[in-house]
Structure 1
Amino acid sequence: MQHSPDFPEYNSKAIEAWDRLAEWWDDKIGDGNEFQDYLIEPTTERMLALKAGEQVLDVACGAGRFARRMAGMGAVVTAIDQAERFLNRARDRTAENDDRITYLKLDATDRAAILSLGERRFDAAVCTMALMDMSSITPLISALPTLLKPHGRFVFSITHPVFNSWTARHVAEQYEQDGEIMVKSGITITDYAQPYSYRGFGIPGQPEPQYYFHRPISLLFNTCFRYGFVLDRMEEPVFPEELQSGANNPLAFSRMPFIPPVLVARMVLKSIY
Structure 2
Amino acid sequence: MDEMIGAYLERRAVGEPHPVLDFLFTYYSLKPGHLRRWHPGHGSVLTGPGIEDYRGRSGYVDVAVGGRPGVTVSSEFLDRRSSAIEFVSTLIGRTATRPAQLGCFGLHEWAMVYRGGDEALRHDVPLRLGHDGTDAVVESMPLRCTHYDAFRFFTPDAVPRNALELTPEHRLLTEQPGCLHASMDLYKWVAKLGPLLPSELLLDCFALSMTARELDMRASPYDLTAYGYSPVRVETPTGRAEYVRAQSAIAERGAALRVAIGGLLAGLR
> What TM bracket, shorter-length normalisation?
under 0.3
Q: Which has the larger radius of gyration?
A: 2
- Structure having the higher strand fraction is 1
- Structure having the higher helix fraction is 2
Task: Kindly indicate whether structure 1 or structure 2 has the higher relative contact order, using CA contacts under 8 Å at least 6 residues apart.
Answer: 2
- TM-score normalised by length of structure 1: 0.26
- TM-score normalised by length of structure 2: 0.27
